Amino acid sequence: MATIRRIHKITDEKFLNMYILEGEKKTGAPMRYQLASRAGRVEDLKMKSQKKDADAVIVYALYAGEEAFDSKDEAACQSLRESADLRVVMVRQYRAAVDSFVYELPAGLVDPGEDMRQAAARETFEETGLKLDILDVDPIFEKARFTTIGMTDENNGIVYGYAYGLPDTAHEEDSEEIEVILADRKRVREILAKGKVSMPTAYQLMHFLGEGDPFAFLS
Amino acid sequence: MATIRRIHKITDEKFLNMYILEGEKKTGAPMRYQLASRAGRVEDLKMKSQKKDADAVIVYALYAGEEAFDSKDEAACQSLRESADLRVVMVRQYRAAVDSFVYELPAGLVDPGEDMRQAAARETFEETGLKLDILDVDPIFEKARFTTIGMTDENNGIVYGYAYGLPDTAHEEDSEEIEVILADRKRVREILAKGKVSMPTAYQLMHFLGEGDPFAFLS
């Protein structure tokens, strides 16, 4: 396999940096590879730290209404998932990377000291004003995955659940511009057809579009 | 909304570069944003070019055996999708970004002059030795989506189909180190539980894991 012999950090930015990996390909030919990473130092790159926890978390949540909701109440969950008016919690937010608004599931970086589930609940509240009741699922559905391994070592986990309360964006950060969208299947289809959408959002929403249980794949 | 006033390209690399976006947040406070992009010039950034075609394509293909297979043969497709031994086409390949092997669906950049489907067929053949018979699906399932919008303007499309022939990796590029894996559900579950897996791969495989039709969500 290829051998990485030297790693240079060639930018000095706050949130994202570029690293150059030098070494040899499997053939012995020289390798020069560009890596964008949220790691602030070479030793924090995933290949050095072997960190497996999620850098960020994405929340796929069904909207359960204004009142407190308990995912342990199986009859209520089933009734909700079978409802003709079922809605999924989405946000539409300004993204500097494309200088426009993008449709996404609620998501955000896991803060130091937080686990993925704490981050999911915090981000859901900050971005939408909603409380999150998180599902226990087989870890294969939630563990951190590399978002785009050809250019970065970033990974993201997913948390699934039911969100309840009144949507509001009073809690968003200064740098955020967010609209909360409680989208039914018709709206989701329109968004996927016409909107700018993030990949994890589009992929998770493929489970929401059909007539069946939008969490069926988790069982 | 935020205003971007200046864009600086601060690296000069071949495949990936870092751009700094300067301007003001919605509040008027200064904004400095880091963007990693495959664009070689400022005018090629998505926010400038408004390019909507996929930069890269991912292939979710069921393995249809050694003989030529035609997705127009509905009985053959249904029989395959209901088979207890159904397998999905995967690769395990060296990724410099994490200096280790990662499980993925076949994927790759769309070359100049190619469309997403041509790239899908070419990449599938180069990475696995297999031919690809591509499905016609509602565009909402295949159109290009932003892979990780917090750090890059990269987007990826998906192509769905049936792959057939004998797996071999004689066609991989010098820089590639690939093992072809025709994974049944048990193997996919093991990979998702224990392996390093890319996000689009993990998310698409959520449709493969259950007992039902792995393409059911497309209809």
In A, which residues are within 8 Å of B146 by CB distance?
A: 95, 97-98, 102, 196-199
The reported pLDDT for the residue numbered B194 is 97
pLDDT value of residue A131: 98
Residue B4 burial (CB < 10 Å; 0-12/13-18/19+)? Answer: middle
- What integer is the mean pLDDT of A207-211? 92
Q: How many CB pairs under 8 A join A and B?
A: 215
Long-range own/partner contacts, residues A167-174 (CB < 8 A, 24 or more apart): A167/A128, A167/A129, A167/A130, A168/A128, A168/A129, A169/A127, A169/A128, A169/A129, A170/A129, A171/A125, A171/A126, A171/A127, A171/A129, A172/A126, A172/A127, A173/A126, A174/B25, A174/B27, A174/B29
Q: What is the pLDDT of residues A80-114, one digit of tens each?
A: 999 999 999 999 999 999 999 999 999 999 999 99
pLDDT digits (tens, 9 = 90+) for A150-161: 999 999 999 999
pLDDT at A174 over 80: no
Contact A193 B100 (CB under 8 A): no
- Band (pLDDT 50/70/90 cuts) for residue B158 is very high
Q: Are B194 and A141 in contact (CB under 8 A)?
A: no
Tell me which chain B residues have a C-beta less than 8 angstroms from the C-beta of A204.
Answer: 203
Q: How far is B9 from chain A (nearest CA, A)?
A: 11
Say if residue B188's pLDDT is above 80: yes
Q: Using the 8-state DSSP alphabet, how is residue B213 labeled?
A: -
Tell me what the mean pLDDT of segment A37-65 comes to: 97
Q: Is the pLDDT of residue A57 over 80?
A: yes
pLDDT band (50, 70, 90) for residue B193: very high
Tell me what the mean pLDDT of segment B77-89 comes to.
Answer: 95
Query: Which range is least confidently modeled, A19-33, A133-147, A173-187?
Result: A173-187
What residue spans of A2-152 are helical by DSSP H?
A: 46-49, 74-81, 116-128
pLDDT tens column, B33-51: 999 999 999 999 999 999 9
| CB–CB contact A18 B32 (8 Å) | no
B174·A33 Cβ contact <8 A: no
Of A47, A192, A203, the CB nearest to B98: A47
Rounded to two decimals, the pTM is 0.95
pLDDT of residue B8: 97
Residues 6+ apart with CB under 8 A from A97: B33, B35, B46, B47, B146, B149, B150, B151, B152, B153
Average pLDDT of the residues of chain A: 95
Q: What is the secondary structure of B51-62 as a DSSP string?
A: --S-SEEEEEEE
* pLDDT above 90 (res A6): yes
Q: For residue A172, is pLDDT > 90?
A: no
- Structure confidence at residue A128 (pLDDT): 95
pLDDT at position B74 over 80: yes
Q: What is the pLDDT of residue A1?
A: 86
One-character DSSP codes across B19-55: EEEEEE-TTS-EEEEEEEES-SSGGGSHHHH---S-S
Q: A198: which chain B residues are within 8 Å (Cβ-Cβ)?
A: 145-149
Nearest CA in chain A to B188: A140
8 Å CB contact of A174 and B29: yes
Q: What digits encode the pLDDT tens for the residues B118-152?
A: 999 999 999 999 999 999 999 999 999 999 999 99
Domains and CATH numbers, chain B: 3-49 (no CATH), 56-218 (3.90.79.10)
Say whether B15 and A34 touch across the interface (CB within 8 A): yes
CB spacing of A151 vs B152 below 8 angstroms: yes
Q: Do A34 and B26 touch (CB under 8 A)?
A: no
